[in-house]
Amino acid sequence: MGSLSVEERQEEQKDEMEECRSIERARWLLDSPEPPSLWHELVGSIRSTFKSSSSSSNHTSTRRALSFLQTFFPILSWGRNYKASKFKNDLMAGLTLASLSIPQSIGYANLAKLDPQFGLYTSVVPPLIYALMGTSREIAIGPVAVVSLLLSAMVQKIEDPVADPIAYRKLVFTVTFFAGTFQAMFGFLRFGFLVDFLSHAALVGFMAGAAIVIGLQQLKGLLGLSHFTNNTDIVSVVKSVSGSMHPPWYPLNFVIGCSFLIFLLFARFIGRRNKKLFWFPAMAPLVSVILSTLIVYLTKADKHGVQIVKHIKGGLNPSSAHQLQLSGQHVGEAAKIGLITALVALTEAIAVGRSFASIKDYHLEGNKEMIAMGFMNIAGSLSSCYVATGSFSRTAVNFSAGCETVVSNIVMAITVLVSLELFTRLLYYTPIAILASIILSALPGLIDIKEAYRIWKVEKLDFLACIGAFFGVLFVSVEIGLLVAVSISFAKVLVYSIRPGVEAVGRLPRTDMFCEISQYPMAVQIPGILTLRINSALLCFANANFIRERIVRWAIQDEHKGMVQAVVVDMSNVMNIDTSGLIAMEELQRELIASGNGIQLAIASPRWQVIHKLKSSKFIERTGRGWIFLSVGDAINTCIHSKQTNC
């Protein structure tokens, strides 16, 4: 008996010590300092964007300034170790890139309803600015098909590019300025999450739909049609084509365009089959332009109905600062289009940059990329450029050509600038059909059927966003397609937020780990104690009542009725809580206590913001400090040894 009494006393002492430790751990939680305010987090995030990794106190002000400039302009950092061997590779890559960029830039300017020289201007200033500020080594900057289509589709609803091309051009420059401003602001404020509003699945569908719309619009140049619809949906385009196929119609445009389209697709096929021949599809567009221009000039085909580019204004980028319309009746529409274009351009550029950065095994800094994109488009809007971004097809060529750094962009920009100075007159007889065929040859890369199928296999709601964007672009308009994609993506998030999981949790045998029983059937629940985990990052107005009802149903109305003396709510996944969530927790406690068994509510593992708001709302004072716990284990141990639970 004496020996047994000693063991009992030892067990009691052990329980008391464990209870003291539990109380001490709960005090750590309850006495934690207040979390930083939203304003402090915002200011801190802006500082961290440009915080130098070597800003120690013993550095002079000059060194700190230099360090800051190196953070703002990465070229100052890596440029010190730049070697001649790297320049050789960058030179070849830049020249190869320019051979592809020149004809594509002219074609994309035509797609954007601008004169050809503006596409070339966009391949000069933005790449130079990005080379100073960007962090990607491979990305090729310039005009792209999707952004060109987006601009023409939205801007022409405000200003007619045919009736008033000057007003249309001014509005495009203004949109470019707003797009750059939004992009830079997103980077400074670390708003990279805004790019994710266009989910990967939505972007796949949007790109595919845009590729088909772009291809259909190129029928105007490929067939040499004079009258064509300004709408971008497939129905309007098909009606316009069928209604225009009557005399006078000049089939020579179609012959020239299709002949070189076949050549370009063949070059693309050869380049894919043999990676060493990457230069062949890269040079093919420029070769096509030169050959087709010579054919038209020598045969006088322009006298027989073949449409030609005619005069391309050469020279340096002229200033367009005086053309920006930052006040007036259309400034609101310009800002809206600039925001949409900024998001689409950033999404494409960051996706392209990250794809090739992962191959080279280095990190791409998203916020700095946004700042670089923003400043290059702001500078572009002041120098007769429209929205530029990273091109997947040209980046692939740049990568295959062996580029080492963004110096290849500088080489490309200088080459395009020299072409503007010396060779634009030679492009007078370039047929419009060849520009259409160049754009058409680049479109297959935008349609990724394999990725769409993978999305279908992995996540059906993502696939719904994908086909929503695809059919929205195809049958309504580009902006409606984007709206549908974003709406479906938001709806998916909303569904998951409104109906989060509330799962029963048990202790894994021979461990101190608590896991969901639905995933780990071997996990064991403690008799008389119902442990539940809220699988939502936010307990808010949208889901608070749903969660409260689920917990009440678990504890009172279902098979646990009459058996539960305590409910432990694991809030380790809940990052934040609003006033509706706090009210729901208070109502939950009242309902549990008012039940026949007087069930006690225990909260385990609340996060920093959650515990702060529980204290601020006086929830802890009303419920008692003893029922807020640092861990699920502490909560269960207290429930077991508490007289209130009758365990």
Res. 241 pLDDT band, cuts 50 70 90:
confident
State yes or no: pLDDT of 508 exceeds 50: yes
Task: Specify the pLDDT at position 352.
Answer: 84
Of residues 579 and 446, more confidence is placed in 579
**Do 72 and 135 contact (CB within 8 A), yes or no?**
no
Of residues 636 and 266, more confidence is placed in 266
Strands 514-516 and 566-570: unpaired
Condensed to tens digits (0 to 9), the pLDDT of residues 311-358 reads: 888 888 999 999 999 988 899 999 999 999 998 899 888 888 877 887
**Do 254 and 433 contact (CB within 8 A), yes or no?**
yes
- In whole angstroms, give the CA distance from residue 476 to residue 489: 19
State yes or no: pLDDT of 454 exceeds 90: yes
Task: Specify the pLDDT at position 59.
Answer: 52
- In whole angstroms, give the CA distance from residue 99 to residue 119: 14
**151-174 burial string, b = 16+ CB within 10 Å, else e?**
bbbbbbeebebeeeeebbbbbbbb
Q: What Cα–Cα distance (Å) separates residue 42 from each residue in 39, 195, 541?
A: 5, 18, 24
Q: What is the mean pLDDT of residues 439-456?
A: 89
Q: What are phi and psi of 530, to 5 degrees?
A: -100, 115
The pair of structure tokens assigned to 354 is 């990250």
Q: Is the dihedral of CA 481, 482, 484, 489 positive or negative?
A: positive
The alpha carbon torsion through 479, 483, 484, 489 (nearest 10 deg) reads 140
- In whole angstroms, give the CA distance from residue 335 to residue 154: 12
**Do 419 and 312 contact (CB within 8 A), yes or no?**
no
Closest residue by Cα to residue 418 from 12, 99, 62, 19: 99
**Do 409 and 181 contact (CB within 8 A), yes or no?**
no
The pair of structure tokens assigned to 360 is 């080279």
Q: What is the mean pLDDT of residues 73-92?
A: 87
User: 3-state SS of 424-477?
Assistant: HHHHCCCEHHHHHHHHHHHHHHHCCHHHHHHHHHHCHHHHHHHHHHHHHHHHCC
- In whole angstroms, give the CA distance from residue 568 to residue 415: 69
Task: Specify the pLDDT at position 225.
Answer: 79
DSSP 544-564: HHHHHHHHHIIIIISTTTTT-
**Do 188 and 372 contact (CB within 8 A), yes or no?**
no
Task: Specify the pLDDT at position 559.
Answer: 53
Res. 188 pLDDT band, cuts 50 70 90:
confident
Amino acid in the structure at residue 19: E
Strands 566-570 and 600-604: parallel
The answer to which of 73-82, 210-219, 382-391, 617-626 has the lowest mean pLDDT is 617-626
Share of the chain above pLDDT 90, in %: 34
Domains located in the chain, CATH noted: 100-492 (no CATH), 501-645 (3.30.750.24)
Res. 456 pLDDT band, cuts 50 70 90:
very high
Task: Specify the pLDDT at position 226.
Answer: 72
State yes or no: pLDDT of 530 exceeds 70: yes
Task: Specify the pLDDT at position 53.
Answer: 43
DSSP letter for 303, please: G
Query: CB-based contacts of 283: which residues, under 8 Å, 6+ apart?
Result: 96, 99, 100
Q: What is the mean pLDDT of residues 614-633?
A: 77
Query: CB-based contacts of 54: which residues, under 8 Å, 6+ apart?
Result: 67
Closest residue by Cα to residue 221 from 109, 105, 110: 110
Of residues 171 and 56, more confidence is placed in 171
Q: What are phi and psi of 531, to 5 degrees?
A: -105, 120
**Do 303 and 429 contact (CB within 8 A), yes or no?**
no
The pair of structure tokens assigned to 11 is 């067990």
- Cβ of 418: how many Cβ atoms within 10 Å? 11
Share of the chain above pLDDT 70, in %: 87
Q: What Cα–Cα distance (Å) separates residue 553 from each residue in 375, 566, 627?
A: 55, 14, 21
- In whole angstroms, give the CA distance from residue 581 to residue 578: 5
Task: Specify the pLDDT at position 9.
Answer: 64
Task: Specify the pLDDT at position 84.
Answer: 84
- In whole angstroms, give the CA distance from residue 293 to residue 311: 13
Of residues 625 and 408, more confidence is placed in 408
Of residues 244 and 382, more confidence is placed in 382
State yes or no: pLDDT of 643 exceeds 60: no
Q: Please give the biggest Cα pair distance in the chain.
A: 119
Global confidence as pTM: 0.74
Closest residue by Cα to residue 474 from 197, 218, 242, 236: 236
Task: Specify the pLDDT at position 58.
Answer: 47
The answer to which of 46-50, 150-154, 210-214, 323-327 has the lowest mean pLDDT is 46-50
Q: What Cα–Cα distance (Å) separates residue 251 from each residue in 159, 223, 244, 518?
A: 32, 7, 13, 67
Q: What is the mean pLDDT of residues 567-583?
A: 91
Does residue 521 have a cis bond before it (omega within 30 degrees)?
no
The pair of structure tokens assigned to 523 is 């996990």
